[in-house]
Structure 1
Amino acid sequence: MQVQSTRPGHAVVSGRGETREVNTALVGEPAPGDWLLVFLDGARECLTPERAAEVNAALDLLAEAMSGQWPGVEADPGFVLPSAMSAQELARLTGG
């Protein structure tokens, strides 16, 4: 998220469709325009603009994968997760 404004120990940041205030105790005092990696309302790391773009691209891909909206990719992954298997299927899978 990109820093919009600051006050001691905090910054107002925006990105990914939201604006919020975060604690900056772990990263020091950022300046407006700086990029921060934010988790649970706390800044965890200062980022270069290039690294911020990489993180945003990865989050975009994750959001697409979670929505099942990847163009040209079937919704069926072609396999079943163990949590959806019967006891017999799990025994077969594990050799039990």
Structure 2
Amino acid sequence: MTTLKTFLLDNEEKLNMYTTAISKVHVGNHPEVHEVKALYEEILAEVKQEADATALTQAFDRLVTVTDHYEIPGDTCETFAAVYQDLENADKLYRAEVVA
């Protein structure tokens, strides 16, 4: 099992709950949270299906763009920050595995 897959599966319950929460609470000021949630779900599904490692590059690249390099807006909560931090960690793990 890859490090990315382990990380995502270990954090799946939390990320599912948190991405749903921020999609409801912060959508008014941050409509991008819906796309962040969708991209996370796409990445998780691909990892569970054990897709080719490079198949996730586009989704992670889009996450970087949508989140402005995982920049946490000043008007958000700890849950929002946790989502961005976890997704950034997943991105780093992914890129380390793809490059390695």
TM-score with structure 1 setting the length = 0.26
Using CA pairs under 8 Å that are at least 6 residues apart, name the structure with larger relative contact order, 1 or 2.
2
Give the number of the structure whose residues are more often helix, by fraction. 2
Larger Rg: 1
Give the number of the structure whose residues are more often strand, by fraction. 1
